[in-house]
Amino acid sequence: MRKAGLLPIFVLAGCMAQDPSIRPLRPLEIPTAAYRDVATTALTGSLMYEGGCLLFRDDETRVLTVPVWPAGSTFNGTALLYHLPGKADQWLAIGQEAVLYGEPLQWNTLPGVIYGPVQHQCGAYAPYYVGSVRPAD
């Protein structure tokens, strides 16, 4: 009986040994990057937290993306504190209409060591670097 109880632990350990850089996201972990003042596109929509991923749903296209926020931004489960260097931090609530200015990214352009866990958990959606944000109202 004791041996049967240890079997799932060995199976899980074997999965983790395949790629030790892949791990589950920590609760409320969001992808961040050094701030860049870039805005090639604008998306209007709202934030949602599904499956441990903070996502943005574009109202026009209904496409979901994984926002990559400027370093210093944090998420508490119901709202995101958006950090813009040299400006006052701004709160964005889940479900609040907002406009994100930034640029679409590809997962293969982001370093796997840092973004591997995010891609593993949220990789069904493309990343989107957020250069600035404002409420849509």
What are the pLDDT digits (tens) for 23-44? Answer: 677 779 999 999 999 899 999 9
Q: Is residue 117 part of a domain?
A: yes
- Among 10-19, 44-53, 82-91, 101-110, the range scoring the smallest mean pLDDT is 10-19
C-alpha 117/C-alpha 134 separation (Å) is 28
10 lies in some domain = no
Query: Does the global pTM surpass 0.85?
Result: no
Tell me, yes or no, whether 110 lies in a domain: yes
Query: Model confidence at 2, in pLDDT bands (50, 70, 90)?
Result: low
Instruction: Give how many domains the chain has, as a whole number.
Output: 1
Supply 120's token pair: 């593993």
d(CA 120, CA 62): 22
62-95: pLDDT as tens digits? 999 999 999 999 999 999 999 999 999 999 999 9
What range defines the domain where residue 49 resides?
24-135
CATH code (residue 114): 2.40.50
